[in-house]
């Protein structure tokens, strides 16, 4: 145990109204966890973390702590804040492999989870604990979703996802990889075969296009595809990235680590969508940020931009007449993702919004009875902890539904 972790725990003031907890999307009981840790009750602290958030270890690494617990710690006013993320990581890492998973008596009722990302993993763990038989169907080689195929290994080690995979199998969760529901199998087939409820947590894996000329050029890629399989892309020495969100930061840092010499990110305005920690990391590793460039087209030689003209308040008021032709070996578009529509197309009555997001009620049930959904496929691209929080609501809805069948 590093002395750093102990020192961080000792800094906690045990606030009666902890802002750290109230600004956590999943309302982690931070003072209670720290108190148990200081008493040497690490397993008890881990149990509280895991019960509240099965992906506690993941969230301790990838959450935007500056906007949540860390950034809202009362110690910010006079001193350095308590780095609960470091404490949580230590406790959760210690607990994950040692935990004794206790579940209720088996109900002999089958539940299907489509998509093994953060929301699907949360639902599977929660439902198996309640005594239901759970099978995860995932179209990729292994579960994890964005954790496995969207966050680079240097930020979230793939070995951690393997630990979760092994732990979930030991819990009794059945995992059927390389199976895309909405293809050979459809949701109606799951009900036919005895599943009493279905959860959809398929995320957002369809890249949004810019609608400009040149997106089909051989030197153009989408961030969602690149991050899923960097080995399958040869970007060259110079890379232009359209967008400045968190995914764009991951793309930039991955490209630099894989040998690209010049990596530049472009944005139309002067606003950066990514969190400050990821931005600083990308800058330190050599990425360049260029503002006031609105993408116009992409050629065989690289992107073409209109150069923005700003007013005194940094609002774009016009563009220069002359276009800016940029040379780049590869251009990567990183402007957002949307959901795939195969489930909607193959499931009678399953409705989605005009953005393709599944429509659900307050219990996370979709427009098809017995089919629930949560996470990015409902709310669009958000954080891992948001997906976990929404999945917990879906679990409550599923339990109520199943108990009243």
Query: Which pTM value belongs to this model?
Result: 0.95
Q: Which tokens belong to 302?
A: 């690289």
Domains 1-98 and 209-333 share a fold: no
Per-residue pLDDT at 1: 58
Give strand pairing partners of 295.
305
Share the mean pLDDT of the chain.
Answer: 96
Burial class for 110, CB neighbours closer than 10 Å (0-12, 13-18, 19+): middle
- Sign of the Cα pseudo-torsion (294, 297, 303, 306, in order): negative
Give pLDDT tens digits for 242-265. Answer: 999 999 999 999 999 999 999 999
- Above pLDDT 90, what percent of the chain? 97
Element (H, E) at 307: strand 302-310
Q: What mean pLDDT is predicted for residues 323-329? A: 98
Superfamily of domain 110-206+338-404: FAD/NAD(P)-binding domain (3.50.50.60)
Output the CA–CA distances (angstroms, integers) from residue 21 to 4, 70, 84, 290, 388, in the order listed.
Answer: 21, 10, 10, 36, 16
What sections of 80-230 are H helices per DSSP?
Answer: 84-96, 118-129, 146-149, 158-171, 187-192, 223-228
pLDDT tens track for 78-104: 878 999 999 999 999 999 999 988 899
- CA 327 to CA 332: how far, in whole Å? 13
What is residue 208's predicted lDDT score, i.e. its pLDDT? 94
The DSSP 8-state label assigned to residue 360 in this structure reads: -
- The CATH number of 1-98 is 1.10.1060.10
- In our burial notation (b when 16+ CB lie closer than 10 A, e otherwise), range 187-202 reads beebbeeebbbbbbbb
pLDDT tens digit string along 120-170?
999 999 999 999 999 999 999 999 999 999 999 999 999 999 999 999 999
May I ask the CATH architecture of the domain 209-333?
Answer: 3-Layer(bba) Sandwich (3.50)
What pLDDT digit, counting tens, does each position of 23-46 carry? 999 999 999 999 999 999 999 999
Domain extent listing, the chain: 1-98, 110-206+338-404, 209-333
Could you tell me what percent of the chain has a pLDDT over 70?
100
Largest Cα–Cα separation, the chain: 71
């Amino acid at each position: 145990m590093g002395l750093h972790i102990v020192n961080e725990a000792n800094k906690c003031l045990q606030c009666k109204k902890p802002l750290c907890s109230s600004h956590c999307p999943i309302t982690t009981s931070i003072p209670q966890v720290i108190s148990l840790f200081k008493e040497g009750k690490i397993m008890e602290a881990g149990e509280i973390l895991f019960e509240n958030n099965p992906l506690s270890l993941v969230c301790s690494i990838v959450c935007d702590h500056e906007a949540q617990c860390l950034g809202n710690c009362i110690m910010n006013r006079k001193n350095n804040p308590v780095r609960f993320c470091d404490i949580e990581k230590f406790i959760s890492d210690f607990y994950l492999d040692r935990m004794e998973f206790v579940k209720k008596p088996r109900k002999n009722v089958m539940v299907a989870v489509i998509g093994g990302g953060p929301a699907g993993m949360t639902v599977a763990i929660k439902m198996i604990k309640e005594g239901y038989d759970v099978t995860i169907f995932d179209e990729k080689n292994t579960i994890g979703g964005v954790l496995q195929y969207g966050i680079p290994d240097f930020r979230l080690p793939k070995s951690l996802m393997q630990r979760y995979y092994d732990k979930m199998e030991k819990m009794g969760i059945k995992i059927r990889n390389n199976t895309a529901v909405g293809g050979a199998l459809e949701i109606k087939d799951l009900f036919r075969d005895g599943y009493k409820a279905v959860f959809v947590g398929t995320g957002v894996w369809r890249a949004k296009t810019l609608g400009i000329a040149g997106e089909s050029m051989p030197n153009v890629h989408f961030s969602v595809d690149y991050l899923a399989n960097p080995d399958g892309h040869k970007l060259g020495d110079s890379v232009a990235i359209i967008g400045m969100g968190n995914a764009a930061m991951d793309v930039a840092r991955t490209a630099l680590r894989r040998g690209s010499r010049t990596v530049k990110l472009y944005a139309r305005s002067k606003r950066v969508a990514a969190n400050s920690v990821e931005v600083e990391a990308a800058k330190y590793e050599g990425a360049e940020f260029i503002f006031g460039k609105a993408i116009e087209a992409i050629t065989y030689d690289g992107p073409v931009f209109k150069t923005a003209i700003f007013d005194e308040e940094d609002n774009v008021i016009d563009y220069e007449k002359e276009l800016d032709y940029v040379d780049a070996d590869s251009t990567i578009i990183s402007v957002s993702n949307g959901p795939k529509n195969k489930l909607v197309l193959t499931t009678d009555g399953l409705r989605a919004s005009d953005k393709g997001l599944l429509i659900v009620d307050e219990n996370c049930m979709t427009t098809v009875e017995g089919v629930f959904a949560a996470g990015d496929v409902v709310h669009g691209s958000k954080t891992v902890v948001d997906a976990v929080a929404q999945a917990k609501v879906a679990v409550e809805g599923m339990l109520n539904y199943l108990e009243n069948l």
